Amino acid sequence: MPRSKFRGQDYGWIPVSTLQWLYLHHDARMPPPGTRVWMAGFSTSDLPASVQAACLYDASREPAAQCVTFSVGCVLFQVFATEQEDADLPPDTEAWLAPRGPYTPALLQIAQSCSPLRWPPEVVFGVGDREALAGRLGQGLPPRS
């Protein structure tokens, strides 16, 4: 499986097919197929920007997806990207990806969604919440059925 990494960072895997799509569709108004994006409010006065990346592995320990959580000012984003050939995820994986618990009222899915957005969100994240959110998918992808 071709793959790409951020230089010197084992957790920075990005699917080559995603990089190719971005190059070919640089003027697109939507992210690549296989990408899910959530947005949230972020309450911080001492952290102007942050980023945390993680590679998610499949059952055979091969890289299967990338999850990046980053903030800019008072807005927090979580981006999940998988290979283009895996863009259509099974319903159980989509359900697994969806925010649960304290994340449900705080995160708005803004990509691969046609739902109207409600802003500002009901709940706003703090610094500790950002770290917990970044680790929410840390156990890797569930096995495909």
Q: Examine the pLDDT at 136 and tell me if it is beyond 60.
A: yes
The amino acid sitting at 25 is: H
Q: Given this model, what pLDDT does residue 144 score?
A: 67
The domain segmentation of the chain, as residue ranges, is 3-134
Q: What are phi and psi for residue 122, nearest 5 degrees?
A: -65, -35
More confident site: 67 or 137: 67
* Whether pLDDT at 95 is above 70: yes
Question: Helix, strand, coil: what percent of the chain each, to 5?
Answer: 20, 30, 45
Residue type, 16: V
Are 30 and 37 in contact, with CB atoms under 8 Å apart? no
**Distance from C-alpha of 100 to C-alpha of 37, rounded to nearest angstrom:** 15
Res 145: pLDDT: 61
Q: What is the pTM of this model?
A: 0.75
User: How far is Cα 15 from Cα 5, in angstroms, rounded to an integer?
Assistant: 8
Q: Render 26-67 in DSSP notation, one character per residue.
A: TT-SSPPTTEEEEEEEE--SS-SEEEEEEEEE-TTS-EEEEE
- Residue 110 pLDDT greater than 80, yes or no: yes
- Over residues 133-138, the mean pLDDT reads 76
Q: What is the reported pLDDT for 1?
A: 44
Look over the chain and give the mean of its residue pLDDT values, rounded to a whole number. 79
pLDDT above 60 for 22 = yes
- Determine how β-strand 35-42 pairs with β-strand 75-82: antiparallel
Instruction: Determine the average pLDDT of the residues in 53-59.
Output: 81
Closest CA to 79 of 132, 14, 143, 28: 14
pLDDT above 90 for 24: yes
Share of the chain above pLDDT 90, in %: 8
Query: How confident is the model at residue 65, as a pLDDT?
Result: 82
In the predicted model, what is the mean pLDDT of residues 94-119? 79
